[in-house]
Structure 1
Amino acid sequence: MSPLCLLRALTFGALAMLAAPAHAETLDKVTFGTNWVAEAEHGGFFQAVADGTYKSYGLDVTIVPGGPNINNGILLVAGKLDFYMSANTLKSFDAVTNNVPLVTVAAIFQRDPQVFLVHPNPKVTKLEDLKPLTIFISKEGVAGYFQWMKNEFGFSDNKVKPYTFNAQPFLADKNSAMQGYVTSEPFVVEKQAGFKPTLILLADYGFDGYSTLIETRRDLIDKKPDLVQRFVDASIIGWYNYLYGNNKPANDLIKKLNPEMTDDVLANSVAKMKEYGIVDSGDSLRDGIGAMSEARVASFFDKMSRAGVVKRDIDFRKAYTLQFVNKGVGLDLRSKK
């Protein structure tokens, strides 16, 4: 995820949030692992801890930050965590492919924040315009969304160079594009290089997978559906409050857990999430944050299977459930502005 936090990644492992309520014995203890160090892209979860939302739902939640040397996804599979913040729908399909009993129960990001950054050029304004350029993409990106770009838009491997989460090769080559998250890399480039890059959001071109998912084990769904529902509902409320309310409690907690985080970075990330409808757009406008639909997942699976990213014969419906979302939770908290 965001390389903003790579400057000094947390090395003390799983840090518990010091938010245990006074009567913790009456609450259900829950552990939730993120997939990176604390940042605004996880803000709603931190908000629900910091402002007492989880507590009001009868939960004593400990958030376990991820990082470059921490694999919270494995801890979820091993039963060491109750919930995990998975990156995207492709990860959910991978779980099905490998017979891992994990299920997505909510999709916090309605739009995948994956973008390409381009040097300002009036001739490069849309995805197809990137074809003549050198494109810096990570190994994971090449194995995932770039296969879709090849299949749908005719991109070629011979223009790809490795992206190592360092913007300097992109900055040095005006005829290049670089992958990034709309909430992070563009801000870094603008500060470092003094120009505002052109952004091409893959979601605008049909890359319609969900991102920042709440994932859990199938056995927890079967044994404790009420706990799952309360965690999902409280997380949704946390996200509404983070985006549209006073998010200082969450940001203070994020900075405590990640000392390299700054107020300007947090403010930029929140602004971009709103501007591009990353969290609250599409189906969430009607069904609430976290919304998912069968048609949307089926559409994404069809695209990824045609591109050869996932096998056509897997039962992708095992990757998710709509049991806990689309209930309109928190809609009254949305900003009227």
Structure 2
Amino acid sequence: MKLNAWLAGFLAICLGGSAVAQQPLREVTFGTNWLAQGEHGGYYQALADGTYEKYGLKVSIVPGGPRANNRMLMSVGKLDFYMGGSLIQGFSAVEKNIPTVVVAAHFQKEPQVLLSHPGQGLDTFEDLKKSNDILLSKDGFATFYQWMKVEFGFKDEQMKPYGFNPAPFIANKQAVQQGYATSEPLVIEQAAGFKPNVFLLADHGFSTYSTTVETRREIVEKDPDLVQRFVDASTIGWYNYLNSDNSKANALIKRDNPEMTDELLAYSRAKMKEYGIVDSGDALSLGIGAMSDARMKDFFEKMVKAGLFKADLDYTKAYTLQFVNKGVGLDLKKQ
């Protein structure tokens, strides 16, 4: 009887330990702001190589797109996390009393660029003011172009509508077009056979963070461990996507966006590294995803000057540094 009791106790300990070791993964939903692409690679990498699982998470990536509104779904509790764009969205949420908060910034630089034809007198950023055909989306005109007007003297009458088709730009050698450093230059080169001039707005003072991770304030307050695990695992995903084999991540991206090509995925990764989109500035010492109060203040003041926000807005409610600047993933960088 004593032996049987001992065996029963031993089995209980073993089974109990196994139960602890095999706790069910926490289900998490993460909405992106556009169709799957290389600029989302770190999140797909963390999903593909099991990093999320190592952090106890079962992550479902919900792609955005022209008919999706993942930001709204996150803010009303249908998604746990959201991949934001620039800080303008975060500041706007404070202005509108939407209880969301930026918890990490996986892009130190927004990939937003302006493109021009080479050899047409539009070969410097200052030269772009000569163009009377600056092709911009409504969002571009309402955001970064307002900053360009104040900082550099661009005019409203120079702006022309951009329909996300490069044909008008290609046909007009005096035109300037908005785009992303990680995609549009390649599209234009493939379609027209020339490499456009590329001007990264971040390198001319447009100091926003981009590809932010946002969540609801209640999650930050009630479940900070969940937020920390998601931020850390995503950060590791970005190191691995940029610096190691990312073929499985790219396969998942192409699964979610069948129109994506291997060539564009490779181009996007190369340009993210070339321009320091992900890993530059504070991220070099504090880790990918880094943010600082000084940088937030700088960009907010620029947006106030550009007329996007009132100076008395408490922009500090838009973000928290609680989950970043911990050096997570620095050991993964290849020398």
Q: Fold-level match, TM-score > 0.5?
A: yes
Corresponding residue to 1:131 among 129, 132, 154 = 129
SS of the equivalent of 2:105 reads strand
Instruction: Tell me which residue corresponds to 1:154.
Output: 153
Corresponding residue to 1:107 among 101, 105, 111 = 105
Instruction: Tell me which residue corresponds to 2:76.
Output: 78
Instruction: Tell me which residue corresponds to 1:306.
Output: 305
- For the 8 Å contact 1:244–1:335, the answer to whether it is kept is yes
Q: How far 1:122 moved relative to its partner?
A: 6.6
Moved more, 116-125 or 195-204: 116-125
Q: How far 1:126 moved relative to its partner?
A: 2.4
Instruction: Tell me which residue corresponds to 2:38.
Output: 40
Instruction: Tell me which residue corresponds to 1:49.
Output: 47
- Equivalent residue runs for 1:139-218 within 5 Å: 139-218=138-217
Instruction: Tell me which residue corresponds to 1:15.
Output: none
Q: Deviations over 1:241-274 (max 9, x none)?
A: 0000110110011111111111001000000000
* Counterpart-to-counterpart distance in 2, 1:64 and 1:205: 33
Instruction: Tell me which residue corresponds to 1:89.
Output: 87
- For the 8 Å contact 2:122–2:130, the answer to whether it is kept is no
- For the 8 Å contact 2:120–2:173, the answer to whether it is kept is no
SS of the equivalent of 1:87 reads coil
- Segments of structure 1 that go 5 or more residues without pairing to the other structure are 1-22
* Counterpart-to-counterpart distance in 2, 1:96 and 1:56: 34
Amino acid at match of 2:109: R
Q: How far 1:25 moved relative to its partner?
A: 5.8
SS of the equivalent of 1:131 reads helix
Give aligned-pair identity as a percent.
Answer: 61
- For the 8 Å contact 2:44–2:249, the answer to whether it is kept is yes
* Counterpart-to-counterpart distance in 1, 2:154 and 2:47: 44
Instruction: Tell me which residue corresponds to 2:218.
Output: 219
Q: Deviations over 1:286-336 (max 9, x none)?
A: 000000000001000000101101221110000000000000000011121
* Counterpart-to-counterpart distance in 1, 2:332 and 2:115: 33
Structure 1: 4+ residue segments shifted above 3 A: none
Instruction: Tell me which residue corresponds to 2:274.
Output: 275
* Counterpart-to-counterpart distance in 2, 1:284 and 1:39: 22
Instruction: Tell me which residue corresponds to 1:327.
Output: 326
Instruction: Tell me which residue corresponds to 1:68.
Output: 66
* Counterpart-to-counterpart distance in 2, 1:114 and 1:39: 15
- Equivalent residue runs for 1:239-258 within 5 Å: 239-258=238-257
Q: How far 1:123 moved relative to its partner?
A: 3.4
SS of the equivalent of 1:26 reads coil
SS of the equivalent of 2:260 reads coil
Alignment length, in residue pairs? 314
- For the 8 Å contact 2:45–2:238, the answer to whether it is kept is yes
* Counterpart-to-counterpart distance in 1, 2:75 and 2:41: 24
CA RMSD of aligned residues (A): 1.1
Amino acid at match of 1:288: G
Q: How far 1:127 moved relative to its partner?
A: 1.8
Amino acid at match of 2:215: T
Q: How far 1:204 moved relative to its partner?
A: 1.0
Amino acid at match of 1:210: Y
- For the 8 Å contact 1:24–1:60, the answer to whether it is kept is no
SS of the equivalent of 1:103 reads strand
* Counterpart-to-counterpart distance in 2, 1:297 and 1:224: 25
- For the 8 Å contact 2:120–2:174, the answer to whether it is kept is no
Amino acid at match of 1:190: E
Structure number with larger C-alpha Rg: 2
* Counterpart-to-counterpart distance in 2, 1:154 and 1:180: 20
* Counterpart-to-counterpart distance in 2, 1:122 and 1:132: 11
Q: How far 1:41 moved relative to its partner?
A: 0.3
* Counterpart-to-counterpart distance in 2, 1:103 and 1:150: 29
- Segments of structure 2 that go 5 or more residues without pairing to the other structure are 1-20
SS of the equivalent of 2:130 reads coil
* Counterpart-to-counterpart distance in 2, 1:138 and 1:260: 22
